[in-house]
Amino acid sequence: MDIVTPFQFSLVYNALSFTFATMGAATLFLWLSRSQVAPAYRTALTISGLVTAIAAYHYFRIFDSWTAAYQLKDGLITATGFAFNDAYRYVDWLLTVPLLLIELVLVMRLSAEETMSKSIRLGAAAALMIVLGYPGEIATDIPTRALWGTLSSIPFVYIVYELFSGLGRSIAQQPANAQGLVRKARLLTFASWGFYPIVYMAPYAGLKGGTVVTTIQIGYTIADIVAKAGLGILIFLIAVRKSAAEDPENTAITV
Amino acid sequence: MDIVTPFQFSLVYNALSFTFATMGAATLFLWLSRSQVAPAYRTALTISGLVTAIAAYHYFRIFDSWTAAYQLKDGLITATGFAFNDAYRYVDWLLTVPLLLIELVLVMRLSAEETMSKSIRLGAAAALMIVLGYPGEIATDIPTRALWGTLSSIPFVYIVYELFSGLGRSIAQQPANAQGLVRKARLLTFASWGFYPIVYMAPYAGLKGGTVVTTIQIGYTIADIVAKAGLGILIFLIAVRKSAAEDPENTAITV
């Protein structure tokens, strides 16, 4: 167990608590906002809120695991002997990452067949990406980490290809007032997902001990906030604009 | 760790518990009242309730941190060695202070572009104000506290300017029965936010030890209740009056 400094302990502690609050707030916002959009977009908001709710649960668990692993007393940090559970993030991602792609597909409102086929293909690729990344995350040597990281990046490249080719064509058919936001949502997904492998590679950079633990925890936390709560807010804005474009008479639809 | 007296310990302890109850109650009131106002104002109530929900969570954590830091035994207070976590207030404000300005903008029902641009500008200034304040809050010497406090007041001055110039013009376009309340909401925001820097400066006044800890905790707690639950109630009243003004036939809209 790598020992962190009191500053690093508090930084991760506060970041985990902040993220629990953010994910919980995003969930409530997304679910309460269901009535503000046309029925066709409510499932997209339901699922966006599910993603942040699942993340809130896991951040609560990660917070508890962090405080169980270390003790800050009289300004000193000691390891309690209980291991910090890395796996929470991966079981979270296994559930939420496929759902993130599905919420993006749903808010685009493609045909029923397209929605189904894209959800299954993208969702399966996302799950495979997470499963292949985990053995590397818990590996103690860099070559093993690099091997699984590289395997995991194959489904990631496929997802990026799908987002920019297949979904790209569908973006052109979105209403004019929502096209820019849909492009932003795609870009946010691509950029925030691209941030995870950078964090994953932190140990390659020669970081050691408490510093590498802190960098990985803070890095994944920032990426999760952007990829989940940030995307959720964009999905909400897209749903509101598309609802308004499709039914300009309906005054119930408004931010 | 500054030792408080048993009276000071109980005062802060009860104030924290009171505030958790107040914030929780405000949240439920605001969310249950969504159906009482026109759809255009529901997002304002959703966000007002989010602010108090996030605050309720943090008061729960602050309460736990307070009781973990001190021990009241046989009428004597001793430090347990676990530090009281000052950061909860700042991570709370980082989330809630931008949202408070956004709820004020939303209830005014400006054009979609104005709503977006004002929310982003005011929200970013508010987040910057909090981030600049924190290094001073945890500083152990007064000059460092004063430096960061001064830096933090720059975005605060900008926010006040925006509230009274930019938003001032929009107030004149509000329905007659709501103008007075919108002015009150702006004044309440200005006055309660102005109270935080006064609390922040408590150590300058030569207060020491347990007295300064107690003054800061009670001061921030009072300011939070006014700025969050108090503003939430005003936002609700404004939303009800504007809903009634815009649709006098609708008997569903009523306090």
Instruction: Annotate A174-192 with DSSP letters as a single string.
Output: S-HHHHHHHHHHHHHHHHH
Over range B246-253, report the average pLDDT: 74
Q: Residue B235: inside a domain, yes or no?
A: yes
CB atoms < 10 A from the CB of B254, how many? 10
A113 contact B CB<8A: no
Gap from A199 CA to chain B (nearest CA, Å): 23
> What pLDDT score does B249 carry?
78
Cα A103 from Cα B186, distance rounded (Å): 37
Which candidate from A28, A72, A73 shows the least CB-CB separation from B50?
A28
Instruction: Name residues whose C-beta falls within 8 Å of residue A199's C-beta, 6 or more positions apart in sequence.
Output: A215, A216, A219, A220, A223
Whether residue B57 and residue A253 make contact (CB cut-off 8 A), yes or no, is no
**Cα maximum dimension of chain A:** 63
Which candidate from A18, A25, A255 shows the least CB-CB separation from B43?
A255
Counted residue by residue, chain B has a size of 255
> What pLDDT score does B254 carry?
62
Q: Residue A255: inside a domain, yes or no?
A: no
Our measurement of the distance from residue A3's CA atom to the centroid of its chain's CA atoms, rounded to an integer in Å, reads 27
B89 contact A CB<8A: no
Whether the CB-CB separation of B44 and B239 falls below 8 Å is answered with: yes
- Residues on chain B touching A17 (C-beta within 8 angstroms): 61, 88, 91
CB atoms < 10 A from the CB of A38, how many? 18
Instruction: Return per-residue pLDDT of chain A as tens, 255 residues.
Output: 688 999 999 999 999 999 999 999 999 999 999 999 999 999 999 999 999 999 999 999 999 999 999 988 888 899 999 999 989 999 999 999 999 999 999 998 989 999 999 999 999 999 999 999 999 999 888 899 999 999 999 999 999 998 888 788 888 888 888 899 999 999 999 999 989 989 998 888 888 788 999 999 999 999 999 999 999 999 999 999 999 888 877 766 565
Which of A118, A103, A115, A120 has the alpha carbon at shortest distance from A37?
A103
> What pLDDT score does B242 carry?
92
Whether residue A74 and residue B88 make contact (CB cut-off 8 A), yes or no, is no
> What pLDDT score does A15 carry?
97
Over range B178-206, report the average pLDDT: 90
A30-B106-B110 Cα angle (round to 5): 130
Helices marked H in chain B: 6-32, 42-69, 87-108, 112-137, 142-164, 166-171, 176-200, 209-224, 231-246
Which CATH number does the domain housing residue A92 bear?
A: 1.20.1070.10
Cα dihedral sign, B154-B156-B158-B164: negative
What would the two tokens of residue A19 be? 């993220």
Q: Which residue has the higher pLDDT, B75 or A43?
A: A43
Q: Residue B113: inside a domain, yes or no?
A: yes
Whether residue A18 and residue B82 make contact (CB cut-off 8 A), yes or no, is no
Q: Residue B221: inside a domain, yes or no?
A: yes
Question: B166-181 burial string, b = 16+ CB within 10 Å, else e?
Answer: ebeebbeebeeebeeb
pLDDT digits (tens, 9 = 90+) for B80-120: 999 999 899 999 999 999 999 999 999 988 888 889 899 99
> What pLDDT score does A123 carry?
94
**Could you tell me the CA-to-CA distances from B27 to A33, A48, A71, B51, B252 in Å, in that order?**
15, 22, 34, 8, 21
> What pLDDT score does B253 carry?
63
Whether residue A10 and residue B43 make contact (CB cut-off 8 A), yes or no, is no
pLDDT digits (tens, 9 = 90+) for B167-187: 888 888 888 889 999 999 999
Q: Residue A211: inside a domain, yes or no?
A: yes
> What pLDDT score does A254 carry?
61
What would the two tokens of residue B36 be? 């009482």
B47 contact A CB<8A: yes
Q: Give the three-state DSSP class for B71.
A: strand
Residue in B with minimal Cα distance to A19: B91
A255 contact B CB<8A: yes
Whether the CB-CB separation of A115 and A105 falls below 8 Å is answered with: yes
Which candidate from B34, B43, B87 shows the least CB-CB separation from A14?
B87
> What pLDDT score does A228 carry?
96
Q: Residue B156: inside a domain, yes or no?
A: yes
- Residues on chain B touching A25 (C-beta within 8 angstroms): 50, 53-54, 95
- Domain coverage including residue B78: 6-246
CB atoms < 10 A from the CB of A214, how many? 21
Over range B66-77, report the average pLDDT: 90
Number of compact structural domains in chain A: 1
Q: Residue A251: inside a domain, yes or no?
A: no
For residue B128, pLDDT over 70 is answered with yes
A177 contact B CB<8A: no
> What pLDDT score does A1 carry?
67
Which candidate from A22, A29, A36 shows the least CB-CB separation from B39?
A36
A25 contact B CB<8A: yes
User: Chain A to chain B, count of Cβ pairs less than 8 Å apart?
Assistant: 64
Q: Residue A156: inside a domain, yes or no?
A: yes
> What pLDDT score does B78 carry?
92
